[in-house]
Amino acid sequence: QHSTQSFKTIEPVEYIPELYSLTVNQTSGGTTNDVNASYPENSSVELLATPDPHMEFVGWTGSGVSDPLFPSTVVFMTEDRNITAVFQPKKYELKIDFSGVGEVTGSGEYSFGADIAISAVPSLGYEFSHWEGYGIDANTSSTSIQISSNQTIRAIFLPEQHTFSVSPLDSSHGTTNIIQSAPYRNGGVYDIMAEPNFGYRFSHWSSTNGSISMLDSNLTATTRVRLSGD
């Protein structure tokens, strides 16, 4: 007797990985590399986010990202992915200081492009003069500045200006003069001089508004005025 054996041929089966789609979006203020496509399961795809000038990368939203807070990272394709790169304006420091005596407001950290209100308030006996620095909207004590970088602004306070004049009681008897030029400011020290005409002599200084107390002496033709009012 003869036995009959049967043989089976086993054909290799080709494994075809499943494909998953990747969609990468971005908010305004930057770009991402173009990797929108379908990828085999368990593969990883490199992501790159590039912010525009004066913008910064915040992070990736969506699942599967290896390092969501880094602009250069990878996403793992174990399912369909929808990823978004988020950008925001950079933050810059606005520093406001002053010269003289007064107060200023507006210092802080702000986003690029923001319009920030600033103000300068002089103390008693002082007045606001002007701002020093880049980006001031107007040279007034209350104004605004647009944030474009780290910026330092300075408010200049000066002593108040006063009305200051000298004159002879009778212009035919002599002349008077203030040695320094205007403006005349609170707390300033100024020299005045009286010159009698021929046939006259200097007697004394007087005042119509009680300013004699500002004089070093009211009995000398040349003296000094310590200004504290008009």
Q: What's the CA gap between 52 and 70, in Å, rounded?
A: 16
pLDDT tens, residue by residue, 188-200:
999 999 999 999 9
Strands (E), 133-172: 142-146, 151-159
Instruction: Tell whether the model's pLDDT for residue 2 goes beyond 60.
Output: no
Mean pLDDT of the chain: 94
pLDDT of residue 15: 74
pLDDT tens, residue by residue, 155-169:
999 999 999 999 999
Q: What's the CA gap between 114 and 145, in Å, rounded?
A: 8
pLDDT of residue 131: 96
Residue 2's identity, in one-letter code, is H
Q: Which residue has the higher pLDDT, 215 or 10?
A: 215
Instruction: Tell whether the model's pLDDT for residue 229 goes beyond 80.
Output: yes
**Gyration radius from the chain CA atoms:** 40
| Region for 62 from its dihedrals, namely left if φ exceeds 0, alpha if ψ lies in -120 to 50, beta otherwise | left
Q: What's the CA gap between 120 and 129, in Å, rounded?
A: 10
Q: What's the CA gap between 126 and 101, in Å, rounded?
A: 7
Instruction: Tell whether the model's pLDDT for residue 1 goes beyond 90.
Output: no
Q: What's the CA gap between 74 and 68, in Å, rounded?
A: 9
Mean pLDDT over 38-53 rounds to: 97
**What is the token pair recorded at 182?**
């205007």
pLDDT tens, residue by residue, 47-63:
999 999 999 999 999 99
pLDDT of residue 54: 95
pLDDT of residue 189: 97
Whole-prediction pTM value?
0.72
Q: What's the CA gap between 137 and 64, in Å, rounded?
A: 47
Q: Which residue has the higher pLDDT, 14 or 38?
A: 38
Q: Which residue has the higher pLDDT, 5 or 124?
A: 124
Residue 136 per-residue DSSP state: B
Instruction: Tell whether the model's pLDDT for residue 79 goes beyond 90.
Output: yes
pLDDT of residue 5: 62
Q: What's the CA gap between 136 and 157, in Å, rounded?
A: 16
Mean pLDDT over 33-39 rounds to: 97
Contact between 205 and 169 under an 8 Å Cβ cutoff? The reply is no
Banded pLDDT at 121 (limits 50, 70, 90):
very high
Instruction: Tell whether the model's pLDDT for residue 9 goes beyond 90.
Output: no
- Coil vs helix vs strand at 183: coil
- Coil vs helix vs strand at 213: helix
